[in-house]
Every structure is written in C-alpha cells, then in structure tokens.
Amino acid sequence: MDDLMLWMQLKKGEHQALKKIYDQNIRNLENYALKFTPDSNLVEDTIHDIFVQIWQKRETLGDTDSIIKYLCVTLRREIIRRIGKAQNIVGLEHSDHKELDFTLSIEDAIIQGERADMNSKKLQEALKSLSSRQKEAIFLRYYESMEYEDICSVMDISYQSVRNLISKGIIELRNQFTIWIFVVFFLNH
Amino acid sequence: MAHEDLHKFQQDLIQDSSFIAWVKSEFDIDNDRWSVFIDEHIEKMDEINNAIRFVVALDFHDENKIDTKALWSKIESETKPDIKSAKIVKFKPWKMVAAIASIAVAILLIFKPLSHGDYLKTYKASITQRIKEPFPDGSAVTLNPGSEVTFNSKKWEQERRVSLKGLAFFEVRKGASFVVETDKGKITVLGTSFSVDTRNQHFEVICKTGKVSVLSSFGQETILEPGGVATLIGEHLHTQTRPEGAIGLVSWLDGTFTFNDVDYGEVIEEIENQYGVKVNMEASLYTLKYTGFFKNNHLNDALFSITWPLKLKYSIKGTEVFIVKE
C-alpha cells in the first residue's frame, strides 16, 4: 500500500492505519530526533504527543504523498521548540538553529572486520568538519532516503540550498574517504 | 580517463536517488537497472565499488533507545476509541460435558486406525531446489537445497518425530510434542515455527513463534522464546535474542543468505547448492572470513554480493564459476 492510501485510511479513522504508520516510521523518527538531543525521554515524549495529535486531528489533516516527510517536518519543529524551551532560547524553531548541534556518528558501518573501525574513525573525523545543517541534510538523504524536494520541506530551505549542502558535504567526506581507501590499499599490497 | 572525470562519475553515483535506494535496499530496489549499468561500466568497477562502500558507510543508525512496544501501548491507550475491559465468561457446566465428549471422540479416532509396521518417509530437496512438504497432521517443513528429513508416517499420530540433515524451517501445528533429531542435538516443541541449521558441522536453532526446547548432544538444554537463537559453539550452547521484527530472523526463507564471520568456503558451498554451479578458486580463499549476504534470485547478483567486499573478481563459464583476486 502506498503512503497516499495509508494516509486516507488514517483520515477515515482506521486505527490500524495509525499503528502501521507508527511501526513503519518509529525507528527512523527516533534516529532523527536523537541527532538533535541525546535525551531519549524528551524524544519519546515528543513522538508520543505527535502521534496522539495526528489521531485527534485526523479529520483536518492535509494530504501527503510522503508520510515520513510529514512526520519529520512535525517532529523537527516540535523537538527544536522543546529543546529551545528547555534551554530558554526563544524562537529557536524559526531561526536556522545555529545554537543546536546536529550530532552524527557512525556506529554501525557494515564494512568488513577491522576495516569497519578504521572506516568509522575516518568518517567520524570528516563528519566533525561539516556544519550542523550539512550533517542534517546528508542524514535525511542517506539515512532517511529522502528526495531533495522533501528535504527542502523538512528543513524549510530552498532546493538549491539543499543541493549545495549535500554536494559540498559529500565532496568533503569523500576526499577523506578516498584518501583512506588509498591508504588501506597501500597497506594491503 | 582524466582524474576529474572519474571523480565526477563517482560523485554522480553517490548522489543518485536510485543508486542510494539500490545500495540501501541491499541491492534489491532497481536492481535490474544497476545490473545493466555495471555490465556497461565494468571498466569502472573500482569507482562503482567505492561509491557503494561510501553509501554503505553513511549509515547513521544509532543504538535504539526507545522501547517501541511500550510507547505504542501508551499511544494506543490514548487514541483507541473502543478499548473495553475484557469480559469474564463464566464456564457453563454443559460446555464442560461437550468438551469431555469431544476429547473422548478424538481419542477413539486416534487409536482406531493404527496398524503396525514402519513406514519411513523421506523428503529430500535436491541441489538448487527448495521444497515445502506437509506432515500427516498439517505441520510442514521447508527444506533448503541439499537438506533432508525422515519420519515414520504410520506412527506420526503417536509421536511426531523427524530426523534432519541440513537446513530446514518447521511450522508445527499445536498438539503433542514435536521432536527434531540431529547429530548435534534435539529440539522439542509444542506448536510453533523454528529454523534448524546443521550444515557444515554447525548447529543453530532459531525460534520464530511459540516456544522451543533445545537439547544439545553434550547434554545442555535451553528454552527459546520468539526471536531466540541457540548456537552450538564448541560444546557450549550459546543463546541470544534477536530483536523482534529484525530483518532476516529466518532470512534464508526469503531467499537471503546471511553469513557472520564464516569461512568463505561455506559461502561458496551455499552458492553451489543454490545455483547448481561448480566454483573454482585458489585454495587460500576458502579460509578467508566473510560477513555479508547474497540473494538467490540471480547468479550474477549473488556473485557480485559475495566478491566485492573481499576485492575478488568472478567470471561465469556455463555452469562453472571462477573467482580470483583482483
């Protein structure tokens, strides 16, 4: 079933649809939110409230062709608002959240054996050199598999900005990565 | 080719939606398109491999911190309109009589048609073939190529007992105990589904539903709940739990063969089993360690999946496959 159909069922009040949406997206939402804050209680509460709200407001919800996009937009706005409140920063959700760090780490790189460690470390270092917004865009693109258009909506920035953020970020990461592959190749031969 | 062009080639791949989807779906989505692409750009295999490695490495999955079941219960209790407390049904005496009567009838039916004599039956899946076969009570077994089970069809109603060689998945109807005997251990269940792997001197049992009791040939016993995996390591039966809904709990059923730090020779044996080919390679490659997976739909894809991580190359000539170092 595609997102459009599932969303329609939700709007019609089928509780199963809510459950399905939850099951399909919970891990992705959790992972996204945890990049803004390590506080898993805050993340859990926010996700809880979002799902309860979606259900309560189901009849007035707009249409969406990408449920994960809809949820990410809502989650992002809400989590930034709550972090801002906790840290006493007014209007953080409207700024480009320079004050907030988007933390990316690579814990499950699935590359072979001891290479996994080397690989993680190298990328880890390279990731540190990127800006929060670059990291967030790359995360949405490569972890959530989002299209550029959807990333625009979630991050509330222009198409060209998204492309630039990702392009430059990837080039930076890849330079590190390629150097690393070259070194490993050298050591192995 | 100029250095910059190669970079551009790789950069374009890394940023291509379909390419990302293909790699992230473990080479499933848009696979036909990318198989063709690789054939057409075989001279740029290194660049393609690096792009794959790069996308694979960009997996920002954190350790899960939320108990999704508990959270859902909370959400459900606040959203579901019609959760009522369960009704208590009083057991009526006449129902008891009916139950006893039906049990009596059932016992009569079971003992009446029994006759003597052994009727040993064997289901065997030949090379390249995966089969699903029924037992007399409607329980079933799915056999991986080259695996076999034997059981006594006449005595089935008295005792549900099968002996297994190889890799099999059992779906057991509720009833008296169901026993699977293997060289390395014995598995006893009531009604459940589980997978047993005895290939290459392994002994691994995965419980998918219900409860499974595993007794190793060294006398150690363990009870598995859904998601539980028991593996014989040396003489010790090691148990662990895989998270519910984990991809590929019994992945070979879906045609995905996963390997965790095993000798490359075992991977090759499974390839030969699944596709009926003969693989030729240098002896030293058999003891390489491999972690990864392949899918059993296309030989080309499977060979690609198991060679690129180890920097190996393959070629196919009829039913023979040659694997060499790059």
CB contact under 8 A, A106 and B58: yes
Q: Which residues contact residue A21 at a Cβ distance below 8 angstroms, ignoring those fewer than 6 apart?
A: A6, A10, A54, A67, A71
Residue A93 pLDDT greater than 70, yes or no: no
**For each of chain B's 326 residues, which pLDDT tens digit applies?**
455 666 788 888 888 888 988 888 878 888 888 888 888 887 888 788 878 877 877 777 667 788 888 999 999 988 876 543 333 344 444 444 444 444 444 444 444 343 444 578 888 888 777 888 888 888 888 888 888 999 988 888 888 899 998 888 888 887 778 888 888 888 888 667 788 888 877 888 888 877 788 888 888 888 888 888 888 888 888 888 876 544 456 667 777 787 878 889 888 988 888 888 899 998 888 888 888 888 777 788 888 888 888 888 888 888 889 999 87
If one compares B217 and A71, the residue with the highest pLDDT of the two is A71
Please, what is the Cα angle at B211 between B222 and B245, to 5 degrees? 105
- Torsion of the alpha carbons at B196, B202, B203 and B209, rounded to the nearest 10: -40
Q: Which residues of B touch A (CB under 8 A)?
A: 10-11, 14-15, 17, 20-21, 24, 50, 53-66, 68, 71-72, 74-76, 78-81, 289, 291, 309-310
Domain edges within chain B: 3-57, 120-241, 255-325
**What DSSP state is assigned to residue B176?**
S
* pLDDT digits 0-9 by tens, A126-168: 777 888 888 899 989 988 888 898 999 899 889 999 999 999 8
Tokens of B81: 């309109």
Q: Which of B186, B251, B242, B218 is nearest to B28 (CA)?
A: B251
CB contact under 8 A, A143 and B58: yes
Q: Are domains B120-241 and B255-325 of this chain identical in fold?
A: no
Instruction: For chain B, give the number of residues.
Output: 326
CATH of domain B255-325: 3.55.50.30
CB contact under 8 A, B62 and A112: no
**Counting runs of H as helices and runs of E as strands, what totals does chain A give?**
8, 0
Residue B214's CB is within 10 A of a number of other CB atoms, namely: 27
Mutate to test the interface with B, among A110, A135, A176, A182 (most CBs of B within 10 A): A110
CB contact under 8 A, B11 and A174: yes
CB contact under 8 A, B60 and A56: no
**Residue B101 CA, distance from chain mean position:** 42
Amino acid (one-letter) located at B71: L
Axis crossing angle, helix A159-188 with helix A132-142, rounded to the nearest 10: 80
Q: Averaged over A169-189, what is the pLDDT?
A: 62
Domains and CATH numbers, chain A: 3-86 (1.10.1740.10), 113-188 (1.10.10.10)
A:B CB pairs within 8 Å: 114
Nearest chain B Cα distance for residue A128, angstroms: 14
Distance CA A45, CA A85 (A): 14
Q: How many CA atoms lie within 13 A of A20 on its CB side?
A: 14
pLDDT for A145: 84
CATH of domain B120-241: 2.60.120.1440
φ, ψ for residue B131, nearest 5 deg: -125, 150
Tokens of B156: 């089935």
ipTM over 0.85: no
Q: Averaged over A101-112, what is the pLDDT?
A: 53
